[in-house]
Structure 1
Amino acid sequence: MPSHTRPCGARHRARDRRSFARRLELPTWALAVAVYGGWGLLTWHAATLPWWLLLPAGAWMIAWHMSLQHEVIHGHPTRSRRINDAIGFPPLSLWLPYAVYRESHLAHHRDQHLTDPLEDPESRYLTAEQWAALGPVRRALTQANATLAGRVTLGPALAIGGFLRDQAARLAGRDRPVWRVWLTHGIGVAAVVGWVSGVCGLPLWEYALLFVYPGCGLALVRSFAEHRAADRVEHRTAIVEGAPLLSLLFLNNNLHVVHHQRPGLPWYAIPAVYRQRRDALIAGNGGLVYRGYADVARRFLLTPHDSLLHPEHHSRTKSKVVASRAQEPEFSDAHAGLVG
């Protein structure tokens, strides 16, 4: 074989190896090993680590695990739902059954209903009737939760408390499918608690405060500004550029428009698709682009992300809403490549 053909052949072999790895979804398998292995090592050494180191590391692992669950919900890393569900099932966050998360999130992907509080389970908006039914304390908490600072600090308590209250009502109503979900979930929780407290010696309350609560708060950073009510469906999903560290944590779902257009695309393929179609995606979503999560914080740290009432339900009552509508994000070519 002529020597000048060897580099070309080597490139082909390297390309074939990468293609083979992608077909097997090895990046997602590696991610699962990193998440569960990292969580196991962190909890194993938790008793010897200071709280100020354990808290950010624990928050990262819980939020990363929720990102992994999100990935397997969308059919990765195998074509077998049973295998994927087994990967996503372990309840490291304790409070959220994987089966409930799966059903709720897939319902969220009915894009024609995005942000509608009556149709989208992940909507943060309220109908006028829902707002009118809130008392003064719950209204104040809801308004605070519309800011990024409130979402990170109060958001986990409101999300977890509201979810458990709803599930308790279903259990009290003898909803058999819900009972089956929670009995299965309970077995998983017992295994996690047995490892954390029984084997690693970490008190459950410390695990809740250093892992579960801040992990939920960190995960809520991603969802805070990724959707916004708009007349056109394609204008309801945002893009957050220039976030390398949080892109890893959120598995590139900061480029959320790509995910909603192609929900079956694996996490590691999202950036390449975004780079190839960036101009068209930005034009398609109406320029709803942020320069990074620092940009999101600058706009909405103490300012509501949007009105609390969904615009389609706003005219149904004369209820007054204190939260003001924030200015729409702007985009220009100068934003390209900037890191938040």
Structure 2
Amino acid sequence: MHTDRIPPSPSQSFLRNLSAVLKRWDWPTLCVFSTCLGVFGAMLALPPGWAAFQWVVLVLVLTLHSSLSHEILHGHPFGSERASTVLGVVQPGLFVPYLRFKALHLAHHRDANLTDPYDDPETNYLDPEIWAGLALWQRRVLTFNNTLFGRMTIGPFIGMKSFLASDLQRIMRGEREVALHWLAHLPGVVLTVWLVSLSAMPIWSYLLACYAALSVLRIRTFLEHQAHERASGRSVIIEDRGPLAFLFLNNNYHVVHHMHPRVSWHKLPAIYRARQARFVRMNQGYVYRSYGQVFAKHLFRCKDPVAHPLWQRPEK
């Protein structure tokens, strides 16, 4: 006996497709993102008299938002580049355009170039020849910047100065994409400054909070990479599960992230635990137990030289 199969109605097809799309969304990331924006708005809505509490919480929220921006550029929570741009283009931290961050960070993920003074846009190492040509005061400043205390205090200023100078040179050379990235950033800056102006918080205090958030982020980036002959030995593991690990969305498992850049933050600890010995062997034992150990070892002590100890100028 033959019976014709009744095709699903348009409404049924729509619901099935919608259900499939919703299942693909990264809901933990979406929930953290929504909460982050909610707390940001709540802090700006506080009345006068809450300045100290407001400032500290905003520093933490801006730090978390930057970590979320890192997740967004790697395709979370929607897996859509267009949706990611919509979520990321407004940066309440003000200083770094999302599209520039995305372009530079994805270039940084070419692991063969990690720590290269020229081809890794996120490295703090210098070409030894450049280092040799610096004035004594410049060497002292950069050496101080290679301590954790230095990276948190003057590090954001040094990083932003270098970043802005480089992008300005690119724009002056006619790199249209860089200019467009900055232009796309401006509406979000105007919106953020307008919202802050409506609050009880002075603009100067908000700018200090943005700088302090960059300082907190420098704790994460301080040890992320080291000079090593093998690319797999250049990324750190910091076995921390505390508040900083959450603020950094588990990027302390940095070698795991570089091996699996499309894996969401909340899955990284389990992946590390399941293959811990393999990851430690792969990154040549570049491991810290916690951020407490990092502070104890490097707060006032340089982690390594500023001049790349293994870099050699490519032969022409």
Q: Could you tell me which residue of structure 1 aligns to residue 34 of structure 2?
A: 33
Task: Give 1:21 shift.
Answer: 7.9
User: What SS is found at the alignment partner of 2:285?
Assistant: coil
Give the Cα separation in 2 of the matches to 1:91 and 1:242. 27
- Correspondences of 1:239-318 after superposition (within 5 Å): 239-313=237-311
Q: Could you tell me which residue of structure 1 aligns to residue 230 of structure 2?
A: 232
Whether the 8 Å contact between 2:151 and 2:215 is mirrored in structure 1 is yes
User: What SS is found at the alignment partner of 1:195?
Assistant: helix
Give the Cα separation in 2 of the matches to 1:46 and 1:121. 41
Give the direction of change, closer, same or farther, for the CA distance of 1:176–1:315 in structure 2 (3 Å limit).
closer
Task: Give 1:153 shift.
Answer: 0.9
Q: Could you tell me which residue of structure 1 aligns to residue 136 of structure 2?
A: 136
Give the direction of change, closer, same or farther, for the CA distance of 1:175–1:233 in structure 2 (3 Å limit).
closer
Whether the 8 Å contact between 2:240 and 2:252 is mirrored in structure 1 is no
Give the Cα separation in 2 of the matches to 1:196 and 1:173. 35
Q: What amino acid maps onto 1:32 in structure 2?
A: F
Give the Cα separation in 2 of the matches to 1:20 and 1:100. 29
Give the Cα separation in 1 of the matches to 2:66 and 2:47. 20
**1:57 is the counterpart of 2:63:** no
Identity, % of aligned positions: 36
Whether the 8 Å contact between 1:243 and 1:293 is mirrored in structure 2 is no
Structure 1, unaligned stretches of length 5 or more?
1-18, 317-340
Give the direction of change, closer, same or farther, for the CA distance of 1:170–1:75 in structure 2 (3 Å limit).
same
Q: Could you tell me which residue of structure 1 aligns to residue 180 of structure 2?
A: 180
Task: Give 1:56 shift.
Answer: 2.7
Give per-residue Cα distances to partners, 1:252-279, cap 9 Å, x unaligned. 1111111011000011111111111111
Q: What amino acid maps onto 1:79 in structure 2?
A: G
> What is the root-mean-square deviation of aligned Cα atoms in Å?
2.0
Give the Cα separation in 1 of the matches to 2:175 and 2:115. 27
Q: What amino acid maps onto 2:304 in structure 1?
A: D
Q: How many residues align?
A: 295
Give per-residue Cα distances to partners, 1:272-324, cap 9 Å, x unaligned. 111111111111111111010110111111111111111233699xxxxxxxx
Task: Give 1:203 shift.
Answer: 2.3
User: What SS is found at the alignment partner of 1:28?
Assistant: helix
Give the Cα separation in 2 of the matches to 1:24 and 1:99. 22
Give the Cα separation in 1 of the matches to 2:56 and 2:162. 25
**1:111 is the counterpart of 2:111:** yes
Give the direction of change, closer, same or farther, for the CA distance of 1:277–1:21 in structure 2 (3 Å limit).
farther
Structure 2, unaligned stretches of length 5 or more?
1-19
| TM-score, reference length from structure 1 | 0.82
Task: Give 1:166 shift.
Answer: 2.3
Give per-residue Cα distances to partners, 1:30-78, cap 9 Å, x unaligned. 0110111111111222743133x33432221111111000001111111
Whether the 8 Å contact between 2:152 and 2:218 is mirrored in structure 1 is yes
Give the direction of change, closer, same or farther, for the CA distance of 1:28–1:297 in structure 2 (3 Å limit).
same
